[in-house]
Structure 1
Amino acid sequence: MKIAYISTYSPRQCGIATFSTDLLAAIAHQDHEKQIEQHVFALSETPGNTRYPEEVKHEIGQHNLADYLAALQIINGGGYALCVLQHEYGIYGGNSGVYILSILKKLQIPLVVNLHTVLDNPSTDEKNILQDIARVADKLIVTSSLGVKLLQEVYDIALPKIAVIPHGVPDFPYTQAEAKDILALSDRKLLLTFGFLSRNKGIETVLRALPDVVRQVPDLLYIIAGKTHPNVLKHDGEEYREYLEQLVEQLDLGKHVQFDNSFMEETHLTTYLSACDIYITPYLNEAQISSGTLSFAIGAGTCVVSTPYWHAKELLAAGKGVLFEKENAQQLQQILLDLLLHESHLLEIRTAVSAFKSTLSWKKIALTYKELFTQVTQDFDGENHPYSARLKDVNPVLDLSHVKRLTNSVGIVQHATYATPNYHHGYCLDDNARALLLLLMVKEDEPTRDVDALVSTYISYIYYAQRPDGLFKNFMGFDNRFLEDIGSEDAFGRGIWAIGYLVRSHTNSSYRQIGKEVFVRAIPHFKTFRSLRAVGYIVLGLVHYLEHEPQNQELLNELRQLVSFMRSEYESNSNERWPWFEKVVSYDNAILPLALLRAYSVLHDEHLKTIAVDAGEFLDAVLFRASHLSLIGNDGWYGEHSDIAAFGQQPIEVYSTMLMYEEMYRTTNNQRYLERIYSSFQWFQGENDLQLRLYDAETGGCCDGLEAFGVNRNQGAESTITFWLSSVHMNRAFKNYTELLSALSNSSKLTVA
């Protein structure tokens, strides 16, 4: 069996690196027939600066998404039978370690995940990431029964997917007397705390408890072993250690406290643990389901005194230790005196621990892992794996609750802070036009759905935003005053697109009549615009209007002039390797080939079709440069002689892209474009560069974009309306999904992730 491990790894000074190093060594030790080959894909903050052992086959730069994708290719193509992930939010890149999903969701082999942290009150990102990991994992491993409970109750993960395997511990070769001799401390009573130093360790509580203790136990020595946590050192330096040293001086404990500011190698650590009389974990954070330091102390057979964080409460039950309240120095003082002055009490605890400690040895734990790995690989069914199987039901049920939440009697508010309307930014024509388009489509598809009040509100905003000369204002403050005299060309164009659709829609005649008035008043300005996207939006509005009045020669002439402008821009900027309308591919790009294809359906100009299909194919190659939709980011766009910006990616791009592919399918009858419609929509559902969902089923809203750090969790009008427009479009494009499923069944390329 060939296994790929994704983790930090020694010599990196990190608890998870130590865990992984110990796990691989223990499994190798139990592999008597040499049937297991273990490779590590090591997470590094600065790749290339660490000399790893030979089992490390690839380094992943923590903050470099491309490294994750490179690792994915190696794992999928490397003949591995299993992938094992050590998961801790902080060791992976992006918000809450989101980058790791770019590997996990595309794995083609079974996956086992050690969860080193399970939070009881996670953030939205933390919860979504763990749930996404659970969807693709074949087995999740936690070290405690509380971890099982949290996974079920907080994350809705089914019990059969979860396994409990305790944290392994090394061998302890010395007796207590031998270890004290090695340390030259045979004449001292030893207390010990070890691990990376940081303020949540609570060591100051122990120091405050010691003055009265050392008066009665004058040979007492408290060893604080471990260097400052690297992240703490980076931001705060040695501030916490210096604070502890000052406290030792203030309490006159200089002869009774010793600092060992080093990373604990195993030999050094096992000697300390074997020698100590009492091991103390005074941690302040209750939400800790796994503690390697605590497991090591139990494995050494020592008496543990601890605050009641989750792992301690479970591991120290049945007399295997003593608990005290966090920051309660007086209670800790009484416990220490009782144990140190009454050795029979100390011996009772050590006896209880000794009867249990052998169950934690890496030798036994490694056998458990080997059995689990064998079972997972035998049970793996690649065809029916959650993210390799094709989905039949890809579209959520229409939920307008967030659209309604953002809408008042004036119109739809532009922005939201998370899912709460943000009134500071007021309203805009663009969003009310999009909202009108959405609600008209909803009314057509579901005539019994009561959306008339919303339709009326959005029409009213557009009507009020139009000036007497036919131009439009755009932005309005929440005090209902417009913030500029004339809005942008793009806002004008989006307004015309929506009004054109209103005129051809099957809504009531009074709405269509006001739409005609608004449209006709705007016509004189059509030919004056020079924003290609504004022209594209107007073309879409004109084509819709012409569906209502196909013989309107004035509008046909307007359409020809606009199309002529777009064609001239294409011919001026395109070349054999750059068949595009501009020297930069920027925002809402699919609108341009889409507009020409829609115009072709009216004008039947074959040259338009050729330009549109060529430009569409060029854009397709850019957008699907990966195996999923990878939008062009607004942080730099994509110039003819520059790289493609990876982030931020905006939901607005998805809807126009879906419309473009639908029109290309109608024009060419190429079934691949049907697949592209489906794959484009899946961008919202996590089939994107970060493998993160943007649609929020809890609110009915859609997050505002995909950034390098993760998802922008605000759910504004543009993103939410765009999502539901895309959803409605999916339903229209694939009635009962019969066409879609036919396309998928004939394709070996499309998989869902």
Structure 2
Amino acid sequence: MRVADPGSTCRVAAIDEPTVLRPYGSEVRWRIRQGDVDSYRAAARSINASNADAVNVQHEFGLYGSWTEPTFTRGRWIEGGYDDHLRPFLEVLTKPVVTTMHTVLPRPSPSMRGAVRAIAELSNEVIVMAATAVDILTTEYGITTPLRVIHHGMPTIEPHGRHRFKAKLGVQGRTIVSTFGLVDPRKGLQYMIEAMPEVVSRHPDALYLIAGQTHPDLVRAQGEQYRKGLVTQARLQGMEDHVAFIDQYMSQRDIIELLLATDVYVTPYLDPNQITSGTLSSALGAGKAVVSTRYLHASEALSDGRGVLVDFRDPGQLGRAVVSILDDPVAKRSLERAAFAYAKDATWPRAAESRSAAGREPHPHRRGRDPLPPRAGGDVGLQRRGGPGRRRGGTAAPCR
């Protein structure tokens, strides 16, 4: 934002887990304890008293509420629901607010639908990251206010240096298939590992690189059980020389260098409702040929010849798709060019310009809310902060 608008000053309201206390830099002005409704209200009152021009909320359901389990009471089941903590914050807040929704789920429960409708009612503007999200919010949530689409941002990447970065990673001479991000079962990595024998039968130098730490929530619950299972799977398939893990926090530079070394990028994810993927956005920004399952973001971003879509949990399709790209250099180059052209307007500087414009254009006055100023010189970002590999404020940092 500061690059797009050098006159702006950004301050952060950090959302922390209930039992965690982190040291922050001077950019963090407020702290919110996740799950504590009074903490959200207190932060809103403090922001109201500040000189902030506007508030930028990065929304993920897990950050701003909790789910209750179904209960059996007096002989019948009571449906569980979503307990929304953002609404109390927005009801107290008097500053103008722009809310970016990182997750938009089809077929919402009544409580989730109510939470999203409250966001639309109490925000000066709502931003989503895919046109598909506009359709879902309009048809399934009944949102009638205008919505702005700003695609998931990504670093500015020049798609050159494949051989140089392969050498830096120590994989020179190999054909690299890769996936990066926090490792957990929802990524479907086991299906790409299962697909590797077919890839290797056609391209004996192929190597599938899985980069990133295990999701911290999974580590707390199960330790490294899932990662160990992937290692065992590769060994039992005789793929020890064709599947490798980079088990470390991936900095932005690490991610860019991995992508530039990659021949085919794969997102074999299992959630059909995933509306945004930071890893997919970054791969497109690096001009990669991409193979992906048909989750919502991928179905939109990889349409019109920008990638190859396959069914969920189908290693045969994954393997054949990767082989078809590697077998045809002309088609591979066409995919790479189409991906880079699609993503060039979503680089972080371009995305920041679009978000800055959202704060300068006139917007309707919402109930209990000041209108956005003609030009906001400073704002507040409401987001979750965390250590390496943690999701921050609903954005993919490092990735989803």
**TM-score normalised by L of structure 2:** 0.85
Asked if the contact 2:182/2:212 (under 8 Å) is kept, the reply is yes
Aligned to 2:46: 74
Are residues 48 and 326 of structure 1, via their aligned partners in 2, closer, same or farther at CA, if it must alter by over 3 Å? closer
Deviation at 1:342, TM superposition (A): 2.1
Are residues 239 and 85 of structure 1, via their aligned partners in 2, closer, same or farther at CA, if it must alter by over 3 Å? same
Deviation at 1:49, TM superposition (A): 2.8
Asked if the contact 2:154/2:346 (under 8 Å) is kept, the reply is yes
CA deviations 1:635-656 (Å, max 9, x no partner) are xxxxxxxxxxxxxxxxxxxxxx
Are residues 251 and 262 of structure 1, via their aligned partners in 2, closer, same or farther at CA, if it must alter by over 3 Å? same
Are residues 48 and 309 of structure 1, via their aligned partners in 2, closer, same or farther at CA, if it must alter by over 3 Å? closer
Are residues 198 and 149 of structure 1, via their aligned partners in 2, closer, same or farther at CA, if it must alter by over 3 Å? same
Q: 157, 169, 183: which is aligned to 2:154? A: 169
Deviation at 1:235, TM superposition (A): 1.9
3-state DSSP of counterpart to 2:98: strand
Correspondences of 1:40-79 after superposition (within 5 Å): 40-46=12-18, 49-79=21-51
Q: 321, 325, 331: which is aligned to 1:345? A: 331
CA deviations 1:447-504 (Å, max 9, x no partner) are xxxxxxxxxxxxxxxxxxxxxxxxxxxxxxxxxxxxxxxxxxxxxxxxxxxxxxxxxx
Deviation at 1:46, TM superposition (A): 4.5
Which structure's residues are more often helix, by fraction?
1
Aligned to 2:367: 386
Aligned to 1:30: 4
Q: 120, 143, 148: which is aligned to 2:134? A: 148
Higher relative contact order (CA 8 A, sep 6+): 2
In structure 2, list runs of 5 or more residues that go unmatched.
Answer: 68-81, 371-400
The answer to whether structure 1 residue 256 and structure 2 residue 242 are counterparts is yes
Are residues 273 and 357 of structure 1, via their aligned partners in 2, closer, same or farther at CA, if it must alter by over 3 Å? same
The answer to whether structure 1 residue 209 and structure 2 residue 226 are counterparts is no
Between the aligned partners of 1:364 and 1:90, the Cα distance in structure 2 is 28
Asked if the contact 1:90/1:97 (under 8 Å) is kept, the reply is no
Are residues 285 and 28 of structure 1, via their aligned partners in 2, closer, same or farther at CA, if it must alter by over 3 Å? same
Between the aligned partners of 1:57 and 1:207, the Cα distance in structure 2 is 45
CA deviations 1:91-133 (Å, max 9, x no partner) are 2344346122221112112111110111111222211111111
Aligned to 2:387: none
Between the aligned partners of 1:69 and 1:167, the Cα distance in structure 2 is 29
Between the aligned partners of 1:345 and 1:380, the Cα distance in structure 2 is 47
Correspondences of 1:382-531 after superposition (within 5 Å): 385-387=366-368
CA deviations 1:167-226 (Å, max 9, x no partner) are 111022553233223212221110111111221111111111111221221111111111
Asked if the contact 2:124/2:363 (under 8 Å) is kept, the reply is no
Between the aligned partners of 1:325 and 1:359, the Cα distance in structure 2 is 28
Aligned to 1:589: none
Deviation at 1:42, TM superposition (A): 0.8
Asked if the contact 1:308/1:324 (under 8 Å) is kept, the reply is yes
Between the aligned partners of 2:328 and 2:364, the Cα distance in structure 1 is 55
Amino acid at match of 1:195: G
Are residues 97 and 171 of structure 1, via their aligned partners in 2, closer, same or farther at CA, if it must alter by over 3 Å? farther
3-state DSSP of counterpart to 2:58: strand
Correspondences of 1:608-627 after superposition (within 5 Å): none
Are residues 388 and 329 of structure 1, via their aligned partners in 2, closer, same or farther at CA, if it must alter by over 3 Å? closer
Aligned to 1:394: none
Between the aligned partners of 2:109 and 2:216, the Cα distance in structure 1 is 24
Between the aligned partners of 1:291 and 1:37, the Cα distance in structure 2 is 28
Deviation at 1:47, TM superposition (A): 6.6
Aligned to 1:200: 186
The answer to whether structure 1 residue 280 and structure 2 residue 261 are counterparts is no
Amino acid at match of 1:169: M
Between the aligned partners of 1:99 and 1:29, the Cα distance in structure 2 is 32
Asked if the contact 1:224/1:258 (under 8 Å) is kept, the reply is yes
3-state DSSP of counterpart to 1:132: helix
Between the aligned partners of 1:181 and 1:239, the Cα distance in structure 2 is 31
Are residues 103 and 177 of structure 1, via their aligned partners in 2, closer, same or farther at CA, if it must alter by over 3 Å? same
Aligned to 1:88: 60
Are residues 371 and 216 of structure 1, via their aligned partners in 2, closer, same or farther at CA, if it must alter by over 3 Å? same
Asked if the contact 2:130/2:150 (under 8 Å) is kept, the reply is yes
Asked if the contact 1:195/1:226 (under 8 Å) is kept, the reply is yes
Between the aligned partners of 2:297 and 2:66, the Cα distance in structure 1 is 28
Aligned to 2:94: 108
Aligned to 2:308: 322
- Structure 1 stretches of 4+ with a deviation exceeding 3 A read 93-97, 378-381
CA deviations 1:385-406 (Å, max 9, x no partner) are 32469xxxxxxxxxxxxxxxxx
Asked if the contact 2:176/2:263 (under 8 Å) is kept, the reply is yes
Deviation at 1:159, TM superposition (A): 4.6
3-state DSSP of counterpart to 2:126: strand
Between the aligned partners of 1:176 and 1:238, the Cα distance in structure 2 is 32
Deviation at 1:343, TM superposition (A): 1.7
Kindly report the root-mean-square deviation, in angstroms, between the aligned alpha carbons of the 2 structures. Answer: 1.8
3-state DSSP of counterpart to 1:28: coil
3-state DSSP of counterpart to 1:374: coil
The answer to whether structure 1 residue 365 and structure 2 residue 351 are counterparts is yes
Deviation at 1:139, TM superposition (A): 1.0
* Structure of higher CA gyration radius: 1
CA deviations 1:62-82 (Å, max 9, x no partner) are 122332122111111102211
Asked if the contact 1:41/1:59 (under 8 Å) is kept, the reply is yes
Identity of aligned residues (%): 32
The answer to whether structure 1 residue 267 and structure 2 residue 253 are counterparts is yes
In structure 1, list runs of 5 or more residues that go unmatched.
Answer: 1-26, 390-753
Amino acid at match of 1:98: D
